[in-house]
Chains A and B, each alone.
Chain A
Amino acid sequence: MQPLVHFALALALPPGGAAPAAASAAAGARVAALQPPPLALRVDSIVQPDGAIGPGGWIVVRNGRIESVGGGAPPAGAAALEFAGGVAMAGFVDVATVLGAGGQLSEPARAFTPEIAAADAFDGDHSDFLAAARTGVTTVGLVPGASNVVGGRIGIVRTSDDDGRGAAVAGHGPLRFTLTEEPFGGLRAPTSRMGALPILREMLANQKMALAGSSLVAADTADQIRIAVETFGAAGRPFALLQPARIDEAIELVTGKTAGAVLGPFDLDSSERDLRVSSLLAAAQIPITFTANGDGNALRLTAALATRSGLEARLARAALSATGARLLGIDGDAGTLEPGRRGDLVVFDGDPLDLAAQVQLVLVGGAAVATEEEAR
């Protein structure tokens, strides 16, 4: 099937393809003026916004946006691609990566750096993004400051631009906080949670910080999770938890209090206890998403392992895209296959949770991501 599809793709999308760059309004307008032909994909199954695998049909992408999902026939003049056995879902969203930055997203001079924006360290030409896109990841969050109590704003990045080579900043996301021990022990004040919390409380209360959407709060132990619930709760700030490993000890504490949890990555060495966290959170109606530093295959492994340990498959698929988009505050724009959403999608030749399934096509903003083969 692979060669056939690429053959078709080559026919449908001449070099310099016509998908829009949605990064800026100006670019969008320019692209719209070109009136390129719509792209129509025929798949056997489509992952619904709730993560369930629904019936297939045609998905039409025009001007970088999804025009329709599940139609019976492609519109006239559309470049049509058919994927026998194909399963389409919204591109993966990994909210917590350090792609293209080599991990250098922390400002060591101070513990509280709310004014920092990770997007300022963005290197769109970095090969990390293309690698991520090829595995089905269409949006990533660049998270600053693992070693800062307040790390700065998360950069929201589309992994591929219209020419399929560079990545593009799509905006600034929420602030990232760290309540683990990581920010402490260095040569700067404060050196302890005890010293940091009064400062943090004052910052949250005084509205000093621009807080879009749910703050992303790294908290590992049950007690760090308690601190997050108490501190953000007292300030009336919505928050999601980043890699809260021991949230299983604090489920009651967070139920109804957190916007969600970012889990993973999991691999074959992960403990059964860690793997079970996903299903425990799901049972408590706490939204979950996965992170694997922008590696789509690792994300699928993470989701698959969570499924094996009790997470409903539907929720695992939703966790790969919809929940992440919601936590980044871009759920009106990405994360699901619905008309009007950005044309971020990935087609597999099977259930994405089946690790044997292969990526057939990735669109970011309606533009196909070149495979390694094509790039050569």
Chain B
Amino acid sequence: MVLSSLLAPTLLGALAVAADSAAVRGGTVVNPDGTRIEKGVVVIQDGRISAVGGPDTPIPGDAVVHEAEGRVVFPALVLAHTQIGLDITNENVPVAPFVNVYDAIEPNSAEYEDCLRTGIGTVHVIQGNNTVIGGLSRIIRPLGDMIDAMTVRADAGLKVSISPRSGFNRMTQLAELRRAFAELAAHVDAVAEKRFEEEKKKKDEKVLVLPDEAARQGLALVTIDDLDARWRTLWRVSKGEVPLFVHCDRAMDVMRGIDWLKEMKLLEKTTFVVGSEAFKAVEALKAAGRPLVLSGILVHRETDPVTGEIKETFVPKVFADAGVPFVLQPNGFGFSADGMLWYQAARCVREGVARDVAVKAITQSAADAIGMGGELGSLAAGKWGNVAILSGDPLDQATFVDRMLIEGRLAYERATDRRLKELTTGQESPPAAAAKTEAPAAPAEAPAPAPAGDAKPDESKPAGDGSGEQN
């Protein structure tokens, strides 16, 4: 497992070598900050954007040109926190840093297909919130049949929950969390002491210090391979090598979480994943200054115990008013309705959040939250060539994703989206119209075609039901 995940970047590198260039021409290039270029040009070379400009921007002669006349050219969206593609979102062991979503991701999940259809170019797959310490996560492109080829970044993060997992109370939760790190420290000490003694033995020296001192001096000698496999991930976490996604369901958990992260000196490595009530800790979250992923449920409801009146708070508005950037998640997942990130952003605008803030929440802020703000989230030279060509304004409900480019390669085309026709008209199109693929490399494989015959769209989904875990 470890070997494969180490290999993954190498494979990617190999794929990227297949030099190719592409350009999107003639559309209105729109960026999350609101800037627009009419009849703009986006040039992508070797998967990276080399130029964004007006109609006069030079296009390399060998570039595959995608005409976007009358279309809106927009950065592909980033899904910063999701369990799509995982059949079971959490282990039933509370502390499981030794697992890796690498082993669980189902590349053929219908949700990945829906990602392309709804403009999502990058997906961070991480375990759910019903845990104390979850496993390693992975950033992928929702495209391809093999997880290694889909991988954008392995070991992208690790889930820690401050809020109690099912069956725990808050005290147990924190106690388990502390105990895990204490056990790690004890294990590392034991290994360090052993390594110190081995080192001395090698040099034929006598061990003349107390065990504590031996452990202290031996620490520098410890490598990850010396550790028990169960503790390796957590050791990397404790050294700040793996970003944390810290779930705080309620405002009270935010306070506990920040305290604990400061104590562990891990606050700077943290992205917060918060529940709807956590808006009450807006000031603390603002002071922490870390990325913030909101729950898909945007409205927090509370019943006044005295009057029985239900008070509703539109959560993103609270953070927007406080000037705290946030990331949106879809409410559920799917093509038709609330499962779309666009819809969540449009709801924010409806409730008075500034448009650029709402749009960044599904692009730039989302990229920032997974540590890829420099690569994703907007159309700019140097960034990755993940481009959504839209039929209209990003937040207009009648807008469709017309085409998707991922790292410069055509990954989706509405005109050949067979399943879309099934979803919209209830009629199946003949297999001959199956999604078109553009040749160059493996990741550009079109989504798995729908099974033939009389299957209904939903029946082609994997059998797993998520077992009702919290996500």
Contacts and interface: CB of A to CB of B under 8 A. Distances in A.
A touches B in complex, CB < 8 A: yes
Contacts of B307: 273
B230 to A, nearest CB: 47
A255 to B, nearest CB: 20
B105 to A, nearest CB: 46
A303 to B, nearest CB: 20
B305 interface: yes
Interface in A262-283: 271-273, 276
A147 to B, nearest CB: 26
Contacts of B305: 271-273
Nearest to B308: A273
Nearest to B307: A273
Contacts of A273: 305-308
Interface in B289-308: 305-308
B193 to A, nearest CB: 57
Contacts of B306: 271-273, 276
A279 to B, nearest CB: 14
B127 to A, nearest CB: 39
Nearest to A248: B308
A271 B308 CA distance: 10
A276 B308 CA distance: 12
B6 to A, nearest CB: 59
Contacts of A276: 306
Contacts of B308: 246, 273
Interface residues of A, number: 5
Nearest to A276: B306
B307 to A, nearest CB: 6
Interface in A66-103: none
B316 to A, nearest CB: 31
Interface residues of B, number: 4
B59 to A, nearest CB: 68
Interface in B256-314: 305-308
Interface in A122-162: none
A130 B433 CA distance: 87
A185 B218 CA distance: 71
A272 B308 CA distance: 10
Interface string A234-267: 0000000000001000000000000000000000
A17 B306 CA distance: 51
Contacts of A272: 305-306
Nearest to B304: A273
Contacts of A246: 308
Interface in A172-216: none
A273 B308 CA distance: 7
A269 to B, nearest CB: 12
A280 to B, nearest CB: 12
Contacts of A271: 305-306
Nearest to A271: B305
A276 B304 CA distance: 14
Nearest to A275: B306
B306 to A, nearest CB: 5
Interface in B386-404: none
A225 to B, nearest CB: 15
Interface string A265-307: 0000001110010000000000000000000000000000000
Nearest to B306: A272
Nearest to B309: A273
Nearest to A249: B308
B359 to A, nearest CB: 42
A222 to B, nearest CB: 11
A273 B305 CA distance: 7
A271 B305 CA distance: 7
B421 to A, nearest CB: 43
A276 to B, nearest CB: 8
A271 B307 CA distance: 9
A245 to B, nearest CB: 10
B58 to A, nearest CB: 70
B335 to A, nearest CB: 38
A344 B306 CA distance: 38
A276 B305 CA distance: 12
A272 B307 CA distance: 8
A235 to B, nearest CB: 31
Nearest to A272: B306
A209 to B, nearest CB: 35
A124 B337 CA distance: 66
A189 B305 CA distance: 37
A272 B303 CA distance: 13
B302 to A, nearest CB: 15
A261 B307 CA distance: 20
Nearest to B305: A271
B291 to A, nearest CB: 40
A42 B308 CA distance: 48
A246 B308 CA distance: 10
A246 B309 CA distance: 12
A246 B305 CA distance: 14
B308 to A, nearest CB: 6
A342 B358 CA distance: 75
Interface string B117-146: 000000000000000000000000000000
B305 to A, nearest CB: 6
A250 to B, nearest CB: 13
B185 to A, nearest CB: 45
A213 B259 CA distance: 66
A334 to B, nearest CB: 36
B303 to A, nearest CB: 10
A305 to B, nearest CB: 14
A371 B308 CA distance: 43
A276 B306 CA distance: 9
B178 to A, nearest CB: 35
A272 B309 CA distance: 13
Interface in B307-354: 307-308
A310 to B, nearest CB: 13
B310 to A, nearest CB: 13
A153 B308 CA distance: 34
Interface of B: 305-308
10 contacts: A246-B308, A271-B305, A271-B306, A272-B305, A272-B306, A273-B305, A273-B306, A273-B307, A273-B308, A276-B306
In the A-B complex, list the 7 residue pairs whose CB atoms are closest, starting with the nearest. Answer: A272-B306, A273-B306, A273-B308, A271-B305, A273-B307, A271-B306, A272-B305
Given A271-B305, A273-B306, A273-B308, 7 more contacts: A246-B308, A271-B306, A272-B305, A272-B306, A273-B305, A273-B307, A276-B306
